[in-house]
Amino acid sequence: MDRTVATGTGYIGQYPREVQRMYESVAACPDDLVLFFQHVPWTFVLHSGKTVIQHIYDSHYQGVERARDFIARWQSLTGHIDEDRYRDILSRFEFQAGEAIKWRDVICGWAYHTSGIADQKGRVGHAD
Protein backbone atom coordinates (compact mmCIF):
# COMPACT_ATOMS: atom_id res chain seq x y z
CA MET A 1 0.00 0.00 0.00
CA ASP A 2 1.35 3.41 -0.88
CA ARG A 3 0.43 5.72 2.00
CA THR A 4 2.79 8.54 0.99
CA VAL A 5 1.57 12.09 0.51
CA ALA A 6 3.38 12.41 -2.83
CA THR A 7 1.88 9.42 -4.68
CA GLY A 8 -0.39 7.48 -2.34
CA THR A 9 -3.31 7.85 0.01
CA GLY A 10 -1.75 10.72 1.95
CA TYR A 11 -2.03 8.82 5.24
CA ILE A 12 1.49 9.88 6.23
CA GLY A 13 0.29 13.50 6.20
CA GLN A 14 -1.40 13.05 9.58
CA TYR A 15 1.94 12.78 11.39
CA PRO A 16 4.13 15.67 12.61
CA ARG A 17 6.50 17.01 9.91
CA GLU A 18 9.65 15.28 11.21
CA VAL A 19 7.84 11.93 11.29
CA GLN A 20 6.33 12.57 7.85
CA ARG A 21 9.81 13.07 6.42
CA MET A 22 10.94 9.71 7.79
CA TYR A 23 7.91 7.72 6.60
CA GLU A 24 7.55 9.52 3.26
CA SER A 25 11.07 8.54 2.24
CA VAL A 26 11.50 4.86 1.44
CA ALA A 27 15.21 5.31 2.19
CA ALA A 28 14.51 6.64 5.70
CA CYS A 29 11.52 4.49 6.60
CA PRO A 30 12.36 1.78 9.17
CA ASP A 31 12.29 -1.80 7.88
CA ASP A 32 9.50 -2.81 10.24
CA LEU A 33 7.22 -0.09 8.80
CA VAL A 34 8.23 0.10 5.16
CA LEU A 35 5.50 -2.28 3.97
CA PHE A 36 2.87 -0.32 5.88
CA PHE A 37 3.84 3.05 4.40
CA GLN A 38 5.46 2.25 1.05
CA HIS A 39 4.61 0.16 -1.99
CA VAL A 40 7.85 -1.62 -2.84
CA PRO A 41 8.63 -4.69 -4.96
CA TRP A 42 9.43 -8.11 -3.46
CA THR A 43 13.04 -7.55 -4.48
CA PHE A 44 13.37 -4.22 -2.64
CA VAL A 45 16.43 -4.36 -0.38
CA LEU A 46 15.72 -3.35 3.21
CA HIS A 47 18.21 -1.64 5.54
CA SER A 48 18.97 -5.12 6.92
CA GLY A 49 20.38 -6.09 3.51
CA LYS A 50 17.58 -8.61 2.91
CA THR A 51 14.99 -8.34 0.20
CA VAL A 52 11.37 -7.95 1.27
CA ILE A 53 10.56 -11.51 0.21
CA GLN A 54 13.54 -12.98 2.05
CA HIS A 55 12.60 -11.01 5.16
CA ILE A 56 9.10 -12.50 4.99
CA TYR A 57 10.50 -16.02 4.71
CA ASP A 58 13.15 -15.57 7.41
CA SER A 59 10.90 -13.82 9.91
CA HIS A 60 8.23 -16.52 9.70
CA TYR A 61 10.79 -19.30 10.15
CA GLN A 62 12.28 -17.38 13.08
CA GLY A 63 8.80 -17.08 14.57
CA VAL A 64 8.47 -20.87 14.64
CA GLU A 65 11.85 -21.15 16.34
CA ARG A 66 10.83 -18.58 18.96
CA ALA A 67 7.62 -20.48 19.65
CA ARG A 68 9.63 -23.70 20.08
CA ASP A 69 12.05 -21.87 22.35
CA PHE A 70 9.18 -20.90 24.66
CA ILE A 71 8.48 -24.61 25.12
CA ALA A 72 12.10 -25.39 25.98
CA ARG A 73 12.31 -22.46 28.37
CA TRP A 74 9.08 -23.50 30.08
CA GLN A 75 10.30 -27.09 30.36
CA SER A 76 13.36 -25.82 32.23
CA LEU A 77 10.95 -24.90 35.04
CA THR A 78 9.84 -28.50 35.60
CA GLY A 79 9.46 -29.13 39.32
CA HIS A 80 9.38 -25.43 40.20
CA ILE A 81 5.68 -24.90 39.41
CA ASP A 82 2.68 -26.88 40.53
CA GLU A 83 2.00 -29.76 38.13
CA ASP A 84 -1.48 -28.70 36.96
CA ARG A 85 -0.36 -25.18 36.06
CA TYR A 86 2.84 -26.50 34.48
CA ARG A 87 0.97 -28.96 32.22
CA ASP A 88 -1.69 -26.40 31.31
CA ILE A 89 0.80 -23.76 30.22
CA LEU A 90 3.03 -26.30 28.47
CA SER A 91 0.05 -27.48 26.41
CA ARG A 92 -0.69 -23.88 25.45
CA PHE A 93 2.91 -23.29 24.34
CA GLU A 94 2.83 -26.54 22.33
CA PHE A 95 -0.43 -25.51 20.67
CA GLN A 96 0.99 -22.10 19.75
CA ALA A 97 4.15 -23.69 18.34
CA GLY A 98 1.96 -25.86 16.10
CA GLU A 99 -0.07 -22.84 15.00
CA ALA A 100 3.16 -20.95 14.23
CA ILE A 101 4.12 -23.72 11.80
CA LYS A 102 0.74 -23.49 10.07
CA TRP A 103 0.94 -19.67 9.88
CA ARG A 104 4.53 -19.83 8.55
CA ASP A 105 3.60 -22.34 5.86
CA VAL A 106 0.50 -20.43 4.73
CA ILE A 107 2.21 -17.02 4.61
CA CYS A 108 5.42 -18.27 3.02
CA GLY A 109 3.46 -20.36 0.50
CA TRP A 110 1.29 -17.39 -0.40
CA ALA A 111 4.33 -15.11 -0.74
CA TYR A 112 6.10 -17.63 -2.95
CA HIS A 113 3.11 -18.26 -5.21
CA THR A 114 2.39 -14.53 -5.46
CA SER A 115 5.98 -13.46 -6.09
CA GLY A 116 7.41 -16.49 -7.86
CA ILE A 117 10.63 -15.92 -5.90
CA ALA A 118 12.02 -18.91 -4.03
CA ASP A 119 13.56 -18.70 -0.57
CA GLN A 120 17.34 -18.25 -0.76
CA LYS A 121 17.70 -20.83 2.02
CA GLY A 122 15.78 -23.50 0.13
CA ARG A 123 12.86 -23.76 2.54
CA VAL A 124 10.11 -22.38 0.26
CA GLY A 125 9.46 -22.77 -3.43
CA HIS A 126 11.97 -25.44 -4.33
CA ALA A 127 9.88 -28.58 -3.90
CA ASP A 128 6.65 -27.74 -5.76
Render each residue's pLDDT in the chain as its tens digit; 128 residues: 899 999 999 999 999 999 999 999 999 999 999 999 999 999 999 999 999 999 999 999 999 999 999 999 999 999 999 999 999 999 999 999 999 999 999 999 999 999 999 999 999 986 54
Contact 70, 100 (CB under 8 A): no
Task: Fold for 45-123, please state it.
Answer: Alpha-d-glucuronidase, C-terminal Domain (3.90.1330)
Number of neighbours of residue 127 by Cβ within 10 angstroms: 7
Question: In sequence order, what are the residues at sequence separation of 6 or more whose Cβ sits closer than 8 angstroms to the Cβ of residue 10?
Answer: 3, 4
- pTM (predicted TM-score): 0.85
What are the residue ranges spanned by the domains of the chain?
1-40, 45-123
